[in-house]
Structure formats: structure tokens, C-alpha cells
Amino acid sequence: MKIKSAWTRQIEIGQQPSSSALRDHLDAVHDNNAGFTETFAWNCRDANGKNSYELLADIIDQKNHSHVLDLGCGSGVLLDLCNKRFGAELMLLGIDMNGSELQLARERLAHTDTKFHQGTAQNLDCFVDSSFDVIFCHWALTLMDPVVEVLSTTKRLLKERGIFAAIIDGDPKTAPGYLEVHDIIYKHVQCKYPDYGVFDLGDPRVRTAEELQKLTAETFIGFDINITPITLSFNAAPSILAREAAGFFYASFVLSPNDFSHMLIDLEKYFIAKQQDGISCFKMPVNRLVVRGRGE
């Protein structure tokens, strides 16, 4: 379904979209496609065979961590993984602004004590200071604007020796072929919205390691900050890869079903040209941000 929102209306007239227009757009996308992140993200693996949910869950140290928050938890995949690994040892909380995503997460974790809260990451006044050992944010920080408020809220909620860890978009140039797939999708989207890409979702500073480091350091004074670039790969038949890759880019959701089909044909052609023995590969660049309190 073609998504139209306050955000698309603003970029149509060449206007920098507002934060409320961004939330309106994200809500429309997620209401119509709840759970769309998980299939793709679950199947994208690093050189050791780990997906990005596992790369975050690995951070939990059972001896020292008991309270874990997932900010922008979506359909609850990361919380589910934490629950499977550590069970009742952890107090898990998922926060998301979108009701349709939370509905999926609640169903997925109905058999557990996991708690959920619907709200924006910028406004979590109902939670007390220093109450979490670990705060995760998987593929959601890139979408959050204003992001400085998210970082300061996260710092407030984190214990002195707590850890904030996020998976965020990485440098497109580091993953071979990524820019080609990106450009196929954006070429189709820009036929309808020439300024899609000039304006994009979220705060652009989060998308580069240098700016993210600076931004994080301004809020997390006295914390150790590490950003690790990682390339994730998804191997599949060209038709599957075309559909999954297209479905992971928010830009695809503004296309009509007809335009979406044309884009899929171009993507499939691209992956067919790259295939070996019927399997093609899509490489995705990410950064893993880990902010660790020294407890000073």
C-alpha cells in the first residue's frame, strides 16, 4: 500500500519535514507493515554467522545485568532472544511508539513477564533515573528526531555502570553492492518524490560514525564509547533477495503497488546478474555503538 503522510506532503513541497510529520509517517508505515524489519534483519549475518539482534544480546552479562530496556522494540524479536537466552533472570521492558508493532511484541512474549510501554523515546518521564543495566536500540536510533533528547533520556535511565548499545546504519561505501541496491530503490522513489533522499528519515548525524561519536560524547560524559563497523550479508535466490531488500528500505513504502513491482523487477535483474549457483548476496553496512558507564 502506498503510504501518504504529513512527511511525504512536506517533502513534496520541498520543505524540511517536522518531527511530528516524521512520527506520523513512521506510524503509517508500521501500521501497514508491522513486523517488516525482522525477516530481513534476522537473516543478515556477519562473518561469524551472527545477526544484529545476536550482536546486541551478546552484550548482556548475566552476573551483572538484570534490568534490560529495548527502545523502539518493534515486534519484540530482540526481547524474545534475551528471554530465550536468560529467561526469568532478566526484567525486560519494550518501548515503542507504534501500537501495531507493540501488539505483535505482546503476542510474541505473552508467555513471559516482559513489560511493554507505548510512547516516544524522547518522553519517558514515567521511568525513574538509573533504573536499567542495559538499554538496546536495534535499527531505530536512525529514525529518531530529535535524537539528542533520546540520548539524554537514555543516559538518565541508565545505571552508572550501565551499557547503551545500538545497531545503526553504517557507511554505505564499506559494503560492496549496497549503494547499487540503494540507488535502484531511490531512482524509483525519486521519480515520484524528487526530494526523497535530500530529506530522509531521522537525524542525518546518526548515520556517520564520526558525527555519531561526537553526538554521543556530548551526552555521555565520562562513558567509554565504541563504534564498530560491521558488514552483514543476506544470501538468497534473486527473487527473494529483491523482495526482502526492497521491504527493508522505508523509501519503498511510498511507492504504489505498480511502481513497487517495477522496482522489484529492476532489483531482481540486478541480483540475477550477480548470482552464483542460483544464490545472490546483499551486503548491508552497520555500526554497532556501545556506550559503557565507568561508574565514576
Q: Shortest Cβ distance from residue 141 to ligand SAM (Å)?
A: 9
Residue 111 CA to residue 5 CA, distance in Å, equals: 36
Question: Residues 24, 80, 101, 133: which binds ligand SAM (CB under 6 A)?
Answer: 101
Q: Could you tell me how many residues of this chain bind ligand SAM (CB under 6 A)?
A: 22
Q: For ligand SAM, which stretch binds (CB under 6 A), given 83-91, 133-141, 170-178, 231-239?
A: 133-141
Q: How many CB atoms lie within 10 A of CB 87?
A: 10
Sheet with strand 91-96: strands edge to edge: 115-118, 91-96, 67-71, 132-138, 158-169, 280-293, 223-236
Question: Residues 65, 108, 138, 155: which binds ligand SAM (CB under 6 A)?
Answer: 138
Please answer whether residues 225 and 289 qualify as being in contact, where contact means their C-beta atoms are separated by less than 8 angstroms.
Answer: yes
Residue 154 CA to residue 71 CA, distance in Å, equals: 9
> Of the two residues 154 and 231, which places its CB atom closer to ligand SAM in the complex?
154
Please answer whether residues 247 and 40 qualify as being in contact, where contact means their C-beta atoms are separated by less than 8 angstroms.
Answer: yes
> Of the two residues 168 and 270, which places its CB atom closer to ligand SAM in the complex?
168
Confirm or reject binding of residue 72 to ligand SAM (CB under 6 A): yes
Question: Residues 11, 28, 57, 77: which binds ligand SAM (CB under 6 A)?
Answer: 77
Please answer whether residues 72 and 4 qualify as being in contact, where contact means their C-beta atoms are separated by less than 8 angstroms.
Answer: no
Residue 8 CA to residue 15 CA, distance in Å, equals: 10
Q: Shortest Cβ distance from residue 277 to ligand SAM (Å)?
A: 30
Q: For ligand SAM, which stretch binds (CB under 6 A), given 55-63, 140-148, 217-225, 269-277?
A: 140-148
Confirm or reject binding of residue 120 to ligand SAM (CB under 6 A): yes
Question: Residues 7, 21, 28, 74: which binds ligand SAM (CB under 6 A)?
Answer: 74
Confirm or reject binding of residue 41 to ligand SAM (CB under 6 A): yes
Confirm or reject binding of residue 37 to ligand SAM (CB under 6 A): yes
Residue 162 CA to residue 169 CA, distance in Å, equals: 23
Question: Residues 11, 21, 26, 69: which binds ligand SAM (CB under 6 A)?
Answer: 26
Please answer whether residues 242 and 260 qualify as being in contact, where contact means their C-beta atoms are separated by less than 8 angstroms.
Answer: no
Q: Which amino acid would we find at residue 29?
A: V
> Of the two residues 104 and 236, which places its CB atom closer to ligand SAM in the complex?
104
Q: How far is CA 262 from CA 36, 183, 240, 258, 280, in A?
A: 20, 14, 15, 7, 20
Confirm or reject binding of residue 38 to ligand SAM (CB under 6 A): yes
Hunting for cell 544480546 — which residue is that?
57
Q: Shortest Cβ distance from residue 262 to ligand SAM (Å)?
A: 24
Q: For ligand SAM, which stretch binds (CB under 6 A), given 132-140, 235-243, 264-272, 281-289?
A: 132-140
**Main-chain dihedrals φ then ψ at residue 247, nearest 5 degrees:** -70, -15
Question: Residues 121, 175, 184, 286: which binds ligand SAM (CB under 6 A)?
Answer: 121
Rule CB under 6 A: which residues touch ligand SAM?
26, 30, 37-38, 41, 72-75, 77, 96-98, 101, 120-122, 138-140, 143-144
